[in-house]
Structure 1
Amino acid sequence: MMNRRTFLRALAGSVALALFPVQVGSAKEPLVIGLQADLTGSLPDYGYWHDKVVRAAVAKLNTDGGIAGREVNLLVEDTATNTDVGRDKLTKMIQGGADFVIGSQSSAVSLASLPLAQELKTVYFPLGEATEITGTAGNRYIFRANHSVRSHAQVAYRWAVETLGKRWTIVAADYAFGHSHATEWPPLLQSAGAEVLDTIFIPLTTTDFVPFLTKVNPDTEVLFHVFPGANALRFLTAASDLGILQKMKVFGVICTVDGIKLEDVPAIEGSYYVSNHPHRLIDVPESTREFDARFRERIGVTQEGTEIETGRPTTGSHYWYGWEIVHLLKQAIEETGWQSPSDHPKIVQYLEGLQLTADFAFPQGDKFIRAQDHQAFHDHYLERFEQGQLQVTQRIDKLEAVYDPTVDYTQQAL
């Protein structure tokens, strides 16, 4: 097995990225963070922004002296949004010297990677949102610092039934993330007096959505859609062309429109989305707006949520994940005195039950990581597409997102 020192000497010829600022002394061996970035495949917008934001976070820490006086090196591997590739890249990073790894946005890649994190005893932060990641599929070495699908459903289902309607059709991407939504929403909707008329799964590789959209029950009052990336734009455009969006209320998770140019789909005027963070600075709560403004400035994003240099739309509801995880690692390492992977049990026990307060390191807001299932809980938002842009209509407190844990990882050995 290649050790860290050997790997770092070979780094120049690798696809990995290393950040070596002059401000940090070189007496101590560098600390290495890995990133499973979905740079290609079905989630390239998420991969682009997670890569950019994590790079910025590492550069900031190194400018400020690193973590516990150690340089921070970043290894980036492209998962191609593919489970086999993503799992292999995780193995490569850990065997190549990664001390910690920030995972893929893809729930499928995240789920495929969880057993490896346990097998290789590496603290792993999956970004995928399928509920089972911090449920039956997880283990004590994984921590999800962002929301789960169940939290999204928990915070929005009652409002959606009361506001939008009681007869629903769910149209979802045919992979782990879409299936998780199709599992979580119906029981909650039914408890609020609604019914799901049908659930339609559409393969990720689909380019022609018409055959699927013609199956939508005309009695539908609420069309709930779950798609990531470019397929969201194709789906919404096709639904608009068929007149479906004009006949029923449109509701979805923010993933459906995160990272796309909303002006390209004007027909979604009036549609609603449950989100994790506002796209526009003006919609960020005053208590955290200063932190979010500094975060945007550091990563090169406008107040409206586009990249300053290119005008590219951000994945603004998701891109903060990596920033906060890097700073979470800094806090955990310095508080526990972590020196090497043999100290991982210290990190695990420190993170279990940890509460975080909003600041520049955690610009999304206050949150906590539940000890039993290593699931974080944070505030959520309802956003409406109005006059060509997303606007927040309601903030939902993090306590509304809490549900009973289904596992207790603290009982697992380290």
Structure 2
Amino acid sequence: MARRKRRLLAATCLAIAGIMGSGAGRAASISNDVVKIGVMNDQYGPGAEVTGPGSVYAARLAIEDFGPTVHGAKIELVVGDHQTKADLGSAVARKWYDSDGVDMIADIGSSAVSLAVQSLARERGKVVMHVGSATDRIFGQDCSPTGFMWLYDTYAIAQALAKGNVAVGGKTWFILAVDYAFGHSMEAQLKKIVADTGGQVVGSVRHPLNASDFSSFVLQAQASKANIIALANAGPDTVNAIKQAAEFDVHGRGQNLAATTFYLPNVHSLGLQTAQGLRIVTGFYWDRNDDTRAFDKRFRKLSGGVPADHVHAGVYSAVLAYLRAVQAAGTDDGAKVAETIKSLPVNDMFAEGAKVRKDGRLMNDLFLAEVKKPADSKGPWDYYDIKTRLKASDIIRPLDQGGCKL
């Protein structure tokens, strides 16, 4: 009996030691006793307003919420500027992965740079979490076991914009598309989705890239009497089209513009008088609920009063998900952490009760927002009225249709 008790006691002690020592054992597998996260994007150029330093602030908040260490290893944050150049982004990523001990790269914010970094990360077995980039190739034909798409993509934008607007009464459409591959693709997708959801495209027109005069195109759209005038373009073309649509009082005459790529800072620059009635797809709005407002309050202390946009919120969520996966996996080995990210739920103020698919796509909902009239805004940055929520399963490309070999 005494011998049996001694054996039981020894076994119990070993079990307790195993439980208590499991964290220490995992900490030993953290390379160089540090988990190093790199935020890469356009820090000073045209993309800086919607990604840039704001993504760095968001990553800092995620690390602050997780804690300064993981399994006893400290967490470090480094920042890189790719200047929207794929070769420069690759060079930064190569140095980070090969020489500087960076374990994960977040954001990027340029599709061309994202694809280049994804290729390198696949070779190195390193994690990359794309947030501000939108090419659906990241989780399609160019997918990687260690690559993740965390916010939106071209397929989801088209699905959400079309389905969301039709759901709130935008049955008839006129499409104003830029005359190159992006515009052609978005135009074709919108036409199909609008028709599939019970709407009707009553007309379309293409404009040259970097057009300065949209008056004839806007007049055609206005004459169509379509409920929705979709802008299948980006950057200065979108801004110029919105400005000239305001001059023709498109919204005042009962039509809404819908932009495929637009951000809260763009609304701020244009002003509500010009941008009112514009409908956009977003993954986050700072004033949506108590949790988003609490995050934004902390963010503004770092940003000098500028609110977080959806790329910034997405970076926060991605960095937090990565750190939680390192904690659960007990290692910073890229392949093991990536598998753990896919096995854990994502539940934060950006993505509520979401999951990550095998192809690395976060199944997060998107929102259709409409820019408020000046009289409806309660103050600075109170710009959006959320019209409807689009479920991830309804707008994100099905797993078997993307061409991902995973």
1:272 matches 2:279: yes
Give the direction of change, closer, same or farther, for the CA distance of 1:112–1:249 in structure 2 (3 Å limit).
farther
SS in 1 for 2:33: coil
Q: Structure 1 375/84 Cα, relative in aligned 2: closer, same or farther at 3 Å?
A: same
Alignment partner, residue 247 of structure 2: 241
User: Aligned Cα RMSD in Å?
Assistant: 3.3
Structure 2 distance, partners of 1:194, 1:158, is 12
The one-letter amino acid paired with 1:36 is M
Q: Which residue of 2 aligns with 1:384?
A: 370
Tell me the alpha carbon deviations over residues 57-112 of structure 1, each in whole angstroms, 9 at most, x when there is no partner: 33554xx3322222222221112123333233222322332111113122232233
AA at the equivalent of 1:356: V
User: Which structure is richer in relative contact order (CA contacts within 8 A, separation 6 or more)?
Assistant: 2
- What does 1:76-95 correspond to in 2, within 5 Å? 76-95=79-98
1:366 matches 2:366: no
Q: Distance in 2 between matches of 1:212 and 1:73?
A: 53
For the pair shown, which has the larger CA radius of gyration, 1 or 2? Answer: 2
Q: Which residue of structure 2 aligns with residue 103 of structure 1?
A: 107
Kindly indicate whether the alpha-carbon contact (under 8 Å) linking 2:54 and 2:303 is maintained by their aligned counterparts in 1: no
C-alpha displacement at 1:140, in angstroms? 1.8
Q: CA deviation at 1:329?
A: 1.1
- TM-score normalised to the size of structure 2? 0.76
| 2:56 alignment partner in structure 1 | 51
Following the alignment from structure 2 to structure 1, what is the Cα–Cα distance between the partners of residues 90 and 185?
Answer: 20
Distance 2:142 2:336 in 1: 23
Structure 2 distance, partners of 1:81, 1:357, is 31
Matched, 1:318 2:311: yes
Worse-matched range after superposition: 382-391 or 325-334: 382-391
- The structure with more helix, counted as a fraction of residues: 2
Question: 1:200 is matched with which residue: 196, 203, 206?
Answer: 206
- Answer yes or no: is 1:394 the counterpart of 2:388: yes
Secondary structure class of the residue paired with 1:116: helix
Task: List alignment gaps of at least 5 residues for structure 1.
Answer: 1-26, 302-306
In the TM superposition, what are the counterparts of 1:12-411 in structure 2 within 5 Å?
Answer: 29-46=33-50, 47-61=52-66, 64-97=67-100, 98-127=102-131, 128-161=133-166, 163-172=169-178, 181-191=186-196, 192-195=198-201, 197-198=203-204, 200=206, 203=209, 206=210, 208-210=212-214, 213=217, 217=221, 218-219=223-224, 221=226, 222-226=228-232, 232-243=238-249, 249-253=255-259, 255-260=261-266, 261=268, 264-280=271-287, 283-284=288-289, 289=290, 291-300=291-300, 309=304, 311-312=305-306, 314=307, 316-339=309-332, 343-358=333-348, 362-371=349-358, 373-388=359-374, 389-405=383-399, 406-407=401-402
Structure 2 unmatched runs, 5+: 1-30, 375-382
Shift of 1:324: 0.9
Aligned partner of 2:15 in structure 1 is none
The residue matched to 2:73 in structure 1 has which SS? coil
3-state SS, counterpart of residue 70 of structure 2: coil
What is the CA-CA distance between 1:333 and the residue it aligns to?
Answer: 0.5
SS in 1 for 2:204: strand
For residue 34 of structure 2, what is the amino acid of its counterpart? P
Q: Percent identity?
A: 16
- Equivalent residue letter for 2:385: Q
Paired residues in the alignment total 360
Q: Could you tell me whether the CA contact under 8 Å between 2:126 and 2:335 is conserved in 1?
A: no
Q: 1:181 to 1:67 in 2, by over 3 A?
A: farther
Measure, in 2, the Cα distance between the counterparts of 1:126 and 1:70.
Answer: 25
d(CA) in 2 for partners of 1:134, 1:267: 36
Deviation readout 1:118-149 (Å, 9 max, x if unpaired): 12221111121222221112222211122323
